[in-house]
Chain A
């Protein structure tokens, strides 16, 4: 029966961590994918970070192999990072290379530390979700494949985080990433009248962010096609309004410049730069081409320690669009209610 809570803290901590809990004084990056932490006791802890399949979606068979590796190299413990990498903590210094070779045999590249591409994060998409407008897992696989060199080497101006979400629900935390893809629908949600009885209509009306859903006689609703922003809010609240989307209507938008930490220009949500690209499985070439352009422009022009968003803040959006040669569209400007003027320029500080 539930009610026991999470396992006690000590149960899953490796011995080296228990010995030095709270005593770490500095860390270094001896090579890409390896972090060395020094403790005030003089002990050093080597961590090897490996990329995992997109969405941290892993079979028990592979997981058992990871467990075997953890048993062999680091006393039977491993951890999963916030960015879905797999970390082997407390590997003896002389066995680090051996572990990296074993991971390579398994097909797990090592990297994603310091000034490199950190592992991608995405939602389940087509794998297991009824709202997905695209399949971020497959896109992230293609992107990781394309940027494998950037993952394995410290060759970028600053860390680079790439995420993907299948719809505007943003479960893949697209808005927090330097560059992210997000699935967009362009169709109106359907109204299956026969299923509406099972829905809480006032709730369906109130969850709509733009007030596009209105009552239409008893037990019936209508959608204002001029107002709808194609978010899945009503599809989540009511089974009669799902599924939203169609193969040719759905696609991918690209956002850039999200960041969490308080360094540099501080935390920021990502901004929309490409409003729509078509779905083109299995490799989404249009999407990966745009990401390639942004990464190339950023890594060629940004200063050291300048994240994508900070680089854009310094050079301005005019230069961003010039350097990346992305097409412009008014869709990237907000035009709703109180935010209607938010994206308009209030000065003449242009760059040409």
Chain B
């Protein structure tokens, strides 16, 4: 079998790649190959105009096209050695002792001039983008138009949901690499800040086959548009000594219950759920998540006095920990050991993080916070407590998931289009939201009581209160 590469005659950038089998079997591809060869075009990498060069190489029949590390004949060399490199800015960024994204781009099919020109002109060269659906694939495909049709037509990418804990078996990752080489630029975005893996630069006609191969490999696409976005969890019991519930198992159960809502957009706006194992909040859910499930404990931290004493003796900095305790509730005495004042301990995890021998206390569960976001209409907002404590019971976490479903239902019914949870809460007020979801007041729900003394009573509330008092008064007078 032969591999046919259509390269730039000047710099050797591979524009398209076919196998001889493909060209005989697939008339569409053969036609496109002929068309590209006859047409004068501009190289996406060095901007030289002219006809493409055809390079034929013998390959093993079993090899997948492009599965080997992208050879890109002479491209890397051309970029480094060419006296007038077509990508001077990217070359500058490629150097240095920190790994460079520009150097990575050069190893792929990414149209380098899109980035180079952006840097030179100080303006992005991409055009309008958004989410689209394919038949059978309602979410997971993103398109990005090009503002420079002379360099590239635009590009699509797929959003793949990460496995729990972002652990990858190398076989699975190599499988994704094969798909990226075969259908896309050969460039991956390993972890977007939303928690997905993105595969970039898939031509429209390759989207469906790429999705099929990804699902055959055991991964799935989704998490675009106005639906539940991929949920993110902290590393939890897999590699941490602090989690208060099984975040990885929780996320897996969440997917079992809510997968449809990750793949079929139907809400007013995107909706993010994040799960942190403890108040250290390694997923930054308190800032990013519409629903944030945070592990909490209610008993005081458990102190293993001999272990703490050994740590102090070994040079542990106990005085810093005692001064920096936010509640000011730690006392250290060589004889009596470490003391914790139960009234001011806020269960923040600080002493637990710093002192070996102090462990989270018992009576563990989760707190549910709502409305965190970084953008939306009114800018960044921290999530607010909706339910301070509830039990998270495996394997199906029914109580917690029912609550998440109720929150989403209220949001779905009352929020306006393109209104994030936080903006919705700002508009209707937290008290109204408590009423809609059905939450009883508790002292953990507020930061502080109000200073503004103008507040409202419903006539029914007043009448009910008076009636109550009258009944109580009557029963007293009878006695």
List A residues at the B interface (Cβ < 8 Å).
Answer: 1-9, 11-14, 17, 21-22, 24-27, 37-38, 45, 47, 51-64, 67-68, 70-71, 76-82, 84, 89, 107-109, 121, 123-132, 135, 137-138, 141, 144-145, 148, 166, 168-176, 203, 206-207, 209, 233, 237, 239, 242-243, 245-248, 250, 258, 260-270, 279, 281-283, 303-306
Given known contacts A71-B170, A282-B92, A11 and B127 CB-to-CB distance under 8 angstroms = no
- A166 CA to B353 CA, complexed, in Å: 34
A239 close to B191 (CB less than 8 A)? no
Q: Is B284 an interface residue when CB atoms closer than 8 A count as contact?
A: yes
B255 close to A173 (CB less than 8 A)? no
- A242 CA to B453 CA, complexed, in Å: 45
Could you say which of B1-9, B30-38, B160-168 contacts chain A? B160-168
A1 close to B348 (CB less than 8 A)? no
Q: Which of B170-224 contact A (CB under 8 A)?
A: 170-174, 177, 180-181, 186-194, 200, 211-212, 215, 218-222
- A264 CA to B324 CA, complexed, in Å: 7
- A270 CA to B374 CA, complexed, in Å: 11
A21 close to B238 (CB less than 8 A)? yes
B375 close to A2 (CB less than 8 A)? no
Q: Is B386 an interface residue when CB atoms closer than 8 A count as contact?
A: no
| B89 nearest CB neighbor, chain A only | A282
Could you say which of B44-52, B115-123, B429-437 contacts chain A? B115-123
Cβ of B288 to closest chain A Cβ, rounded Å: 7
Cβ of B319 to closest chain A Cβ, rounded Å: 10
Q: Is B246 an interface residue when CB atoms closer than 8 A count as contact?
A: yes
- A237 CA to B251 CA, complexed, in Å: 31
- Which B residues touch A148, using CB under 8 A? 97-98
B382 close to A267 (CB less than 8 A)? yes
- Which B residues touch A11, using CB under 8 A? 163, 169, 172, 218
- Which B residues touch A107, using CB under 8 A? 97, 99
- Which A residues touch B108, using CB under 8 A? 59-61
Could you say which of B55-63, B274-282, B335-343 contacts chain A? B274-282
- For the complex with contacts A27-B241, A128-B126, 5 further pairs of A-B residues with Cβ separation under 8 Å are A60-B186, A64-B69, A68-B170, A135-B118, A281-B89
Q: Is B441 an interface residue when CB atoms closer than 8 A count as contact?
A: no
- A303 CA to B324 CA, complexed, in Å: 9
**Which residue from B69, B127, B279 sits with its C-beta under 8 Å from A60?**
B69
- Which B residues touch A4, using CB under 8 A? 215, 218, 220
Name 12 A/B residue pairs within 8 A (Cβ), A-sorted. A1-B136, A7-B218, A13-B165, A13-B167, A22-B246, A77-B167, A78-B170, A82-B283, A123-B193, A145-B97, A169-B375, A263-B349
A126 close to B119 (CB less than 8 A)? yes
Q: Which of B229-251 contact A (CB under 8 A)?
A: 232, 234-235, 237-241, 243, 246, 248-249, 251
**Which residue from B136, B187, B239 sits with its C-beta under 8 Å from A2?**
B136
Q: Give the residue among B69, B284, B417 with the most A Cβ atoms within 10 A.
A: B284
Could you say which of B19-27, B140-148, B471-479 contacts chain A? B140-148
B418 close to A203 (CB less than 8 A)? yes
Q: Is B455 an interface residue when CB atoms closer than 8 A count as contact?
A: no
**Which residue from B120, B169, B241, B287 sits with its C-beta under 8 Å from A26?**
B241
B167 close to A79 (CB less than 8 A)? yes
- Which A residues touch B285, using CB under 8 A? 260
- Which A residues touch B166, using CB under 8 A? 79-82
- A61 CA to B102 CA, complexed, in Å: 14
- A47 CA to B279 CA, complexed, in Å: 23
Cβ of B145 to closest chain A Cβ, rounded Å: 7
Q: Give the residue among B115, B167, B189 with the most A Cβ atoms within 10 A.
A: B167
- Which A residues touch B347, using CB under 8 A? 262
- A25 CA to B356 CA, complexed, in Å: 9
A58 close to B193 (CB less than 8 A)? no
A9 close to B190 (CB less than 8 A)? no
Q: Is B469 an interface residue when CB atoms closer than 8 A count as contact?
A: no
- Which B residues touch A125, using CB under 8 A? 124
- A211 CA to B104 CA, complexed, in Å: 42
Given known contacts A4-B218, A11-B172, A282 and B119 CB-to-CB distance under 8 angstroms = yes
A109 close to B320 (CB less than 8 A)? no
- Which B residues touch A263, using CB under 8 A? 279-280, 326, 348-350, 353
Q: Give the residue among B96, B166, B222, B287 with the most A Cβ atoms within 10 A.
A: B287
B238 close to A269 (CB less than 8 A)? no
Given known contacts A55-B189, A141-B96, A260-B284, A245 and B380 CB-to-CB distance under 8 angstroms = no
- Which B residues touch A84, using CB under 8 A? 190-191
Tally chain B residues at the interface, Cβ within 8 Å.
Answer: 127
A233 close to B121 (CB less than 8 A)? no
**Which residue from A2, A70, A260, A265 sits with its C-beta under 8 Å from B286?**
A260
- Which B residues touch A306, using CB under 8 A? 324
Q: How many contacts between A and B, using CB within 8 angstroms?
A: 361
Q: Is B317 an interface residue when CB atoms closer than 8 A count as contact?
A: yes
- Which B residues touch A54, using CB under 8 A? 100-101
- Which A residues touch B194, using CB under 8 A? 171
**Which residue from A138, A265, A267, A303 sits with its C-beta under 8 Å from B281?**
A267
Cβ of A40 to closest chain B Cβ, rounded Å: 10
B382 close to A57 (CB less than 8 A)? no
B115 close to A126 (CB less than 8 A)? yes
A7 close to B172 (CB less than 8 A)? yes
B284 close to A6 (CB less than 8 A)? no
B374 close to A173 (CB less than 8 A)? yes
- A5 CA to B246 CA, complexed, in Å: 19
**Which residue from A6, A108, A126, A260 sits with its C-beta under 8 Å from B99?**
A108
Cβ of A53 to closest chain B Cβ, rounded Å: 4
B348 close to A262 (CB less than 8 A)? yes
| B95 nearest CB neighbor, chain A only | A145
- Which A residues touch B177, using CB under 8 A? 60, 63-64, 67
- A203 CA to B263 CA, complexed, in Å: 24
Cβ of A144 to closest chain B Cβ, rounded Å: 4
**Which 6 A-B residue pairs are closest in the complex by CB-CB distance?**
A22-B237, A126-B118, A262-B279, A170-B374, A59-B107, A67-B170
Q: Is B129 an interface residue when CB atoms closer than 8 A count as contact?
A: yes
B190 close to A80 (CB less than 8 A)? yes
**Which residue from B105, B125, B155, B349 sits with its C-beta under 8 Å from A261?**
B349
Given known contacts A1-B136, A67-B170, A57 and B241 CB-to-CB distance under 8 angstroms = no
- Which B residues touch A52, using CB under 8 A? 99, 190
**Which residue from A9, A45, A67, A203 sits with its C-beta under 8 Å from B164?**
A9
Cβ of B182 to closest chain A Cβ, rounded Å: 10
Q: Is B378 an interface residue when CB atoms closer than 8 A count as contact?
A: yes
- Which B residues touch A82, using CB under 8 A? 166, 191, 232, 234, 282-284
- A233 CA to B416 CA, complexed, in Å: 15
A57 close to B326 (CB less than 8 A)? no
A47 close to B324 (CB less than 8 A)? no
**Which residue from B115, B125, B193 sits with its C-beta under 8 Å from A173?**
B193
- Which A residues touch B97, using CB under 8 A? 107, 109, 145, 148
- Which B residues touch A129, using CB under 8 A? 124, 126, 129, 144
Cβ of A299 to closest chain B Cβ, rounded Å: 16
- Which A residues touch B157, using CB under 8 A? 128
- A207 CA to B423 CA, complexed, in Å: 11
Q: Is B137 an interface residue when CB atoms closer than 8 A count as contact?
A: yes
- A45 CA to B238 CA, complexed, in Å: 11
